[in-house]
Amino acid sequence: MPKLNENFLRLEKNYLFINIAKKINAFKQANPDADIIRMGIGDVTLPIAPVVIDAMKKGCDEMGVKETFKGYEDSGAGYDFLKKAVSDYYKSFGADILPDEIRINDGAKSDCGNIVDIFGDDNIILVTDPAYPVYVDSNLMNGRKIIYADSNEENGFAAMPDYNVHADIIYLCSPNNPTGSVYTRSQLETWIDYAKKNNAVIIYDSAYEAFITDSNIPRSIFCIEGAKEVAIEMCSLSKTAGFTGMRCGYTVIPDALTVTASDGTEVSVSQIWGRRQGSKFNGVSYPVQCAAAAVFTDEGMKQIHQNIAYYQENARIISDTMNKLGIKFTGGINSPYIWFKCSDNMGSWEFFDLMLEKIAVVGTPGAGFGKNGEGWFRLTAFGDRQRTVEAMERFESLVNSLKK
C-alpha cells in the first residue's frame, strides 16, 4: 500500500484564495445582482505590451520553420539571449550578475517552492510573518521546522533578525507580499550579517521589484555588498510585465554561494540546483523566452512601465483614501499592495465579511498570511481604474458609517 507523505496533512486544508472564492460564491448565490469589485487576488489585469506580444509571435513563427525550429533547450536554464538581457537589467540598477548565474524558469512560485529540495530536512527555516504562503507550505510538506520573525505595526511590517535565535534558511520578500513594506539598504545589510554569522542562506523574493520608485530602496539583494556569499534571488515577469498567464521568471544563484557538506567539502549551490533542475525541469518554451527578452529592450521597458504606472496610480488612489480616513497602512508606494488596519479592532475575516456584505468589495484577510496579519487587510492595485475609484467610494462610506 502506498504511504502518504503525511506532512501534507499538516497543511491548511485549502489554499487561502480557495476559501475566499467559496465565500464569494455563497454571497453571489444569496445576492445574484450584487456588483462585486475584486481587490483580493494579486493578479494583473492589463494586457501584455505590444512589443512583447510581437516578439512572442515571431518566436512562434520560427518554430514553424525547419531552419529555426527549436526542440529541447540544451541546458533547460534559459537561452543565452534572455540570460544576457536579465544580466544587463540587473546591471541597470547596480547589481553585477553574470548571465550564467541566472536560470530562467516558469515563474517564481515554482522555484520558491522547489528550491527546498536541495536542502536537508533538518534545517531550521525562518519566515517573516505574515508571508506569501508558498514559503511556509513548501517547507511543511517536507516536515521542516519553521520559526517566524514577526512583521508587525511596531517594526513597520519589516521584520528584523533576532541574533539570539539560529536559522539555516531565511525567506525575505521585498517589496513584501502581503504588507507592501520594503527593506532599506541598511536593513538588508543587517540580514546579510545575520546570515553570515549563522552560516545561513537567504532566499530573497523580489517579484515586485519593478514597483520600486524610491531610488534609495534596493531593487535586488545583490545591490548589497556581501549578498553573493549568502543569497539566492527569485524574480518573475508576472507582475513586472503581466506574465501571470504567460509564465516566465528567473532565479539568481551566484557562483560565490556554497554550502559545506557533512564531509566538509564546499558544494556549489548553483551546481546542485542545476543538477536538480536537470532531472526535473525541461525549461521554458522558446516563444515565451523571446517575449521575455523583449521586456528588457528599451521599447519593452517603456511599454511595461506604462502598465506599472497605471497600477501605481491605483495604489495612490487607495492610499489617499486610507490617509483621508485616518487609517493606518503600509505599502502603496514602491508596492502594488496596500495593507491596512481593520476598523474598530475587527478581526481580518470579520472585516472581510463586512466588506463583502455591506459594499460588495473583496479583499484579502491579513490573517490568511500568518498570525501577525490578524486585524489587518490587503487590497491590491492591480484592478481597473474606474472600479478602484468606485471601490474606494464604497469603502469610504462604509468606514464613515462605522464611525457614527
Among 128, 244, 277, 388, binds ligand PLP (CB under 6 A): 244
CA angle 175/293/181 to nearest 5° reads 5
Q: Which stretch binds ligand PLP (CB under 6 A): 82-90, 107-115, 317-325, 384-392?
A: 107-115
> Which stretch, 1-9, 105-113, 349-357, 378-386, contacts ligand PLP (CB under 6 A)?
105-113
Least separation in angstroms between residue 41's CB and ligand PLP is 8
Of 27-56, binders to ligand PLP (CB under 6 A) are 42
For residue 182 the three cell numbers come to 520594503
Binder of ligand PLP out of 44, 173, 195, 342 (CB under 6 A): 173
As a whole number of angstroms, the distance between CA 360 and CA 368 comes to 20
Q: How many residues bind ligand PLP (CB under 6 A)?
A: 14
**Binding of residue 78 to ligand PLP (CB under 6 A):** no
- Residue 246 and residue 53 in contact, taking contact as beta carbons nearer than 8 Å: no
Residue 382 CB, shortest distance to ligand PLP, in Å, is 10
Question: Which residue stretches of 119-225 are H helix?
Answer: 133-140, 185-197
Identify the residue among 138, 151, 177, 314 touching ligand PLP (CB under 6 A): 177
Q: Does 236 bind ligand PLP (CB under 6 A)?
A: yes
> Strand (E) positions, 206-362?
231-236, 249-252, 258-260, 266-268, 329-331, 337-341, 361-362
Instruction: With contacts defined by CB under 6 A, name the span among 106-114, 183-191, 285-293, 361-369 that binds ligand PLP.
Output: 106-114
109 interacts with ligand PLP by CB under 6 A: yes
Q: Which of 39, 77, 82, 108 binds ligand PLP (CB under 6 A)?
A: 108
Least distance CB 295 / ligand PLP (angstroms):
13
**What's the one-letter identity of residue 392?**
M
Binding of residue 207 to ligand PLP (CB under 6 A): yes
> Rule CB under 6 A: is residue 115 a binding residue for ligand PLP?
no
For residue 344, the minimal CB distance to ligand PLP (Å) is 29
Of 128 and 244, the one with the shorter C-beta distance to ligand PLP is 244
Ramachandran sector of residue 128 (left: φ over 0; alpha: ψ -120 to 50; beta: rest):
beta
Calpha distance 254→259 (Å, rounded): 12
Distances (CA, A) of 32 to 28, 29, 136, 319, 351: 5, 6, 36, 31, 21
Q: What distance separates the 2 farthest-apart alpha carbons in the chain?
A: 72
Sheet arrangement for strand 376-380: 329-331, 337-341, 376-380, 364-365
CB of 264 to ligand PLP, least distance (A): 35
Binding map of ligand PLP across residues 255-294, x = CB under 6 A, - = no contact: ----------------------------------------
Cα R_g (the chain), whole angstroms:
22
Give the alpha-carbon dihedral of 267, 273, 276, 279, to 10 degrees: -120
Binding ligand PLP (rule: CB under 6 A), the pick from 205, 209, 224, 246 is 205
Of residues 17 and 27, the one with the C-beta less far from ligand PLP: 17
* 317: enclosing H helix or E strand: helix 298-325
> Residue 198 or residue 218: which is nearer to ligand PLP going by CB?
218
Q: What's 381's DSSP letter?
A: S
Report 131-150 residues binding ligand PLP (CB under 6 A). Answer: 132
**Is 231:222 a contact under the CB 8 Å cutoff?**
yes
Interface with ligand PLP by CB under 6 A: which range of 108-116, 285-293, 301-309, 355-363? 108-116
Site residues, ligand PLP (CB under 6 A): 42, 107-109, 112, 132, 173, 177, 205, 207, 236, 238, 244, 249
